[in-house]
Chains A and B, each alone.
Chain A
């Protein structure tokens, strides 16, 4: 249930921005979720709606986009995607290809500890796209 803490963090951020920017309401929040984070988007959306109500944010529209995670090796230059290697890594971490509560789910930046470049075996590579959970945009309204 790592999704709960993420949802709570997003709600706290919205509340703080409303205060800082003297907004009367927030109409839309766009969130990007990289595959690597293994976030259940439906669960995240449900939690955001529940917490919005609990925190008195009203009717906020949440848009959650998923983004493919891709990597590039800093050693040999090879590029690959998380989806191409996901099953191998999850089998190692979870004992199955089904996602579980694993260190990469909790902290995606730990990927370098658990995955090697499929071509040269280096653990020195960069994440090019699909990084983690990001707040892409918040649409706020100020009356008067």
Chain B
């Protein structure tokens, strides 16, 4: 008989594996820069996939700027609800949503990196999604603690988002290299024309040369996008692009 003492285990790691077991696939939506519309693309994808009869959840992983409930029209401080096994996602327009906003409301969230890692582990291990076809993960901008933590557990396809400006495309190329090196499948790059600019061919050529992915999808400018998403409606002008993106994801 051998008696051994085991140390250094984090119970949440095992819970995360258990909780993710009933999620068919995760899709990560990221970018190197902020303000390029990751949350908007996530919300559009969620609404459209739900319309198509797909069972969808969204993890709002932008801890400092959690905004998915707000984008989808829930402006009140809703608070976190619990079921026996953990945190109950909020349901908006038929989509299950977990967001730090449910815990902190509109308060600022000052966090150092190690703390962010722990919070994400809590959200992953304690959220009771039950079964989902797809979990969309709205990542914060950057290539730091949040991305590295989440990519350890969620290995689904990764969408790179950018706006059609030189600076954003330059950073998105670096972001692409970062996630490619981690072995992620990048089925599409989304160019979100939220600034309503003429998309410069030179920029697209630079992007296509540096980032060899299957598809580049341009989301056309839509002045009423924010108001439409608040009511759970996808503006007609963007539906075609979102449907095209979905084709590469499922």
User: When A109-B118, A123-B110 are in contact, do A13 and B14 touch as well, CB less than 8 Å?
Assistant: yes
Interface size of B in residues (CB-CB distance below 8 Å): 36
Residues in A with CB closer than 8 Å to B9 are 13, 17, 135, 138
Closest B-chain residue to A132, C-beta based? B118
Residues of A within 8 A of B111 (CB): 109, 112
Contact across chains for A4 and B85 when beta carbons are under 8 A apart: yes
Give A134 to B110 CA distance when docked, in angstroms. 24
Q: Given A112-B110, A112-B115, list of 10 further CB < 8 A pairs?
A: A13-B15, A23-B4, A106-B126, A107-B103, A107-B123, A109-B115, A135-B10, A138-B5, A139-B6, A142-B4
Residues of B within 8 Å of A13, CB to CB, are 9, 11, 13-15
Partner of B6, one of A17, A101, A107, A132: A17
Interface mask (A1-20 → B, CB under 8 Å = 1, otherwise 0) = 11011101110110011000
A contact patch SS: mixed
Query: Nearest 7 A-B pairs (CB), nearest first?
Result: A9-B11, A9-B15, A5-B86, A103-B103, A13-B14, A13-B11, A138-B6
Report B-chain residues with C-beta under 8 Å of the C-beta of A9: 11-12, 14-15, 125
Q: Chain B CB within 10 Å — which of A8, A107, A132, A134 has the most?
A: A107
Known contacts A13-B9, A135-B9; decide if A2 and B85 are in contact (CB<8 Å). Answer: no
Are B80 and A142 in contact (CB-based, < 8 A)? no
Q: Is B209 an interface residue (CB 8 A)?
A: no
Report if B112 contacts A (CB, 8 A). yes
Residues of B close to A98: CB separation below 8 A:
none
A22 CA to B187 CA in the complex, in Å?
40
Assess whether B3 is interfacial by the CB under 8 Å rule.
yes
A9 vs B118: C-alpha distance in the bound complex, in angstroms?
15
Given A5-B126, A106-B126: A10 and B1 interface contact (C-beta under 8 Å): no
State whether the Cβ of B91 lies closer than 8 Å to any Cβ in chain A: no
Given contacts A106-B103, A109-B122, contact A5 B108 (CB under 8 A): no
Does A136 have its Cβ within 8 Å of any Cβ on chain B? yes
| A136–B9 alpha-carbon span in the complex (Å) | 8
